[in-house]
Amino acid sequence: MNTTLSLEETLARLLAAALAGAIVGWERESHGRPAGLRTTILAGAASAVAMMLSHALFLESAAETAWRPDPARLGAGILTGIGFLGAGTIIRHENLVRGVTTAASLWFVTVLGLVFGSGEFALGCLGLIVAVLALYALPAMEKHIRSDWYATLTLTTELDALSEGELRQRLQAQGLSVRATEFRHDFVARRKTIGFELKLKRDAAFDVSTRLLAEARHWPGVLEVTWR
């Protein structure tokens, strides 16, 4: 029994996986993401090599012994390992989380590498089409979705200035939804700091924040305003 692929078949699978990684990585690289062109090419090609090796070992063992190893076991280990690599691309700064799409792209490229490494070219091409549509076409459509946006407004006021309830009413009058409130009182300096976690629409965030900061400076007892 021939347990090895021909050179042409090996190159075809490897190049298909590397090309899929390059197409996905190009989009990530153009946005300055931490896992860019080189990372996705390596992830796709490496997973294809691992799948071809797993297939070869399976055929070799099947030809020589009665033992039947699971040919998908090595691929499952690759997916587990790429999860740790993808987690390294996710960055959280306070309420902002970045890198989730990059991590998903890296994971998807790895799956495509396993698919192409198995010789399933039709399935791999269909998967690549899905990735291209998600990364290249959907961003243009997302602009028309009125998605929610979260911000934090921090007000430092005099101790006997506007109460939390009065400030909340003024914020709600601006069309803002208050999700949570945080208090801090400095009785020595006779100041208090109130933080509001706000919910609003993404497309209105700039206008609302500009208008709110301009108005808040005139509210009685307000010493400092921070929008984040």
Q: What is the pLDDT of residues 67-119, one digit of tens each?
A: 566 666 777 777 777 877 777 776 665 556 677 888 888 899 999 999 999 89
Is residue 11 domain-shared with residue 121, that is, in the same domain? yes
Q: State the total domains in the chain.
A: 2
pLDDT at position 97 is: 64
Is residue 113 domain-shared with residue 165, that is, in the same domain? no
Tell me the residue range of the domain where 189 lies: 148-227
Give the CATH number of the domain where residue 195 resides.
3.30.70.260
Is residue 36 domain-shared with residue 116, that is, in the same domain? yes
Residue 192 lies in a domain: yes
Is residue 126 domain-shared with residue 17, that is, in the same domain? yes
Among 120, 142, 164, residue at a domain's last position: 142
Which residue ranges of the chain lie beneath pLDDT 50?
1
Residue 2 lies in a domain: no
Cα–Cα distance measured from residue 41 to residue 48, given in angstroms and rounded to the nearest whole number: 11
Residue 1 lies in a domain: no
Rg over alpha carbons for the chain, rounded to the nearest Å, is 27
Is residue 119 domain-shared with residue 157, that is, in the same domain? no
Is residue 108 domain-shared with residue 156, that is, in the same domain? no
Indicate the helix (H) or strand (E) that contains 97.
strand 96-98
Is residue 136 domain-shared with residue 204, that is, in the same domain? no
pLDDT at position 1 is: 45
Residue 185 lies in a domain: yes
Is residue 173 domain-shared with residue 202, that is, in the same domain? yes
pLDDT at position 62 is: 59
pLDDT at position 184 is: 84
Is residue 89 domain-shared with residue 190, that is, in the same domain? no
- What is the model's pTM? 0.69
pLDDT at position 69 is: 60
Secondary structure (DSSP) of 136-201:
IIHHHHHTTS--EEEEEEEEEEETTSS-HHHHHHHHHHTTPEEEEEEEEEETTTTEEEEEEEEEEE
Among 114, 142, 170, residue at a domain's last position: 142
Is residue 42 domain-shared with residue 123, that is, in the same domain? yes
Among 116, 142, 168, residue at a domain's last position: 142
pLDDT at position 20 is: 93
